A = this chain, B = another copy of it.
Amino acid sequence: MVHSSLIDGPAPAVRDKNLTELEYLAVSSPLNFADGHARQNLTPSQMQIIDDLPRLFRECVQTPVNELERRAISSYFTLLGQQGFPTGDKRVLSCYSSSVAMEIVARALITEVSSLMLLHPTFDNSPDILRGVGMKLVPLAEDQLHGDDLDPALLASVGALFVTTPNNPTGRVVSRDRLRALAGQCARHGKVLVLDTSFRGFDTRAHYDHYQVLEASGCRWMVIEDTGKIWPTLDLKVGWIVTSADLGLPVPKIYSDILLGVSPFVLNLIGRFAADAAAGGLAALHRFIAENRETVRCALAGIPGVRFPDPTNRGSVERIGLGTRSCLEVWQATRDRRVYVLPCQQFYWADPPVGGNSLRIALARPASSLALAVGELRSVLLAA
């Protein structure tokens, strides 16, 4: 049994923290399986890029930043099947991260709409950023998102639809047909469709050309892309805001309040990592994540009550259903063993208790440390 002092001990404090605050507790720990950042080892060809950093730096001094940006965008978007990305003036804006991109998107949205429909569950910084600018949120359950047409009355009651695909933590992907239907419904109802595709790098099912579908739909749209999840570049990354030509929201203006642009060094680095990924690195990453997922599932198989609620997930995180165990108790017990994971309550931003019996574990980690962590988690679960 997890010792009972935990029940009225740290649990309430943990419940009040957001997921990033819980990730922060883990950030300097060698057994950090909390955040979704890419912390696996560099591959040999990635190490060669790192050995080449001085030359990458000097290249930036000699190359116009617009050119480095154009190359980074082109190589990253096409790597992930997004050939139809727009190339017009200010249609793709480079940000320090996907969350900075989301803050700008939220600030732009709130100038026109006061409420939106947001996927449920999803990582809690999406609802927190949106609420932070004053947005009212209506939860959209995943089964509804992937089912038939959205309730017209519900859609009519909001100004926009915000969807994370692949979703975090469930890994569910909006298919091409489903995106076409959603964008069509948004077009007919005059709603803005916002996609956060930060985790798409891991899942080829999200590599169909979203921009082709969006451009054909006639709806107003924004997409947030992110290089920050797939490569162990020590959080040297870019988040992009991509917008429809007819969006009519002050995205470039608000962008210019926050930044002039991102580092040309980071853009150059991303171009190099994307080229390496196109030459086989991306497929190797997919195999690596699949093997780590298998490590988790095998090690925990057969423990009473434990299950994996996202069997088709290919993302770099895995949810673990705990049966009747409380995720906060298991979280605390694994933390006592210096292993950090995430409780899932906070992903259910509109109804936290629904997530009260599952954990999320990060897979973009060295295989050896993952095996160690899962061994500890297994011990905790067997005792609980």
Binding site for B on A (CB under 8 A): 18, 20-21, 23-24, 27-28, 35, 37, 50-54, 57-58, 60-61, 64-67, 96-97, 99-100, 103, 107, 125, 128-129, 132-133, 233-237, 252-254, 256-266
Contact = CB atoms under 8 A, between A and B. Distances in A.
Nearest to A41: B61
A60 B50 CA distance: 12
Given A28-B66, A235-B261, A20 B53 contact: no
Nearest to A124: B257
B66 A257 contact: no
A57 B67 contact: no
Contact of A24 (B20, B37, B107, B261): B261
Contact of A100 (B100, B263, B266): B100
B100 A258 contact: yes
A235 B52 CA distance: 19
- The 9 A-B pairs at the shortest CB distance, nearest first, are namely A28-B64, A96-B96, A53-B53, A235-B263, A20-B256, A28-B66, A234-B265, A128-B257, A99-B258
A92 B65 CA distance: 31
A129 B58 CA distance: 33
Contacts of A53: 53-54, 57
Contacts of A99: 257-259
6 contacts: A18-B257, A21-B252, A24-B256, A28-B67, A107-B132, A128-B257
Contacts of A35: 260
Contact of A18 (B27, B52, B253, B259): B253
B132 A260 contact: no
Contacts of A21: 252-253, 256
B263 A236 contact: yes
A27 B256 contact: no
A60 B51 CA distance: 14
A251 to B, nearest CB: 12
A125 B257 contact: yes
Contacts of A259: 20, 97, 99-100
Q: Residue among A99, A263, A266 with the most chain B CB within 10 A?
A: A263
A103 B258 contact: yes
Nearest to A103: B258
B253 A236 contact: no
B260 A28 contact: no
Contacts of A253: 18, 21
Nearest to A254: B132
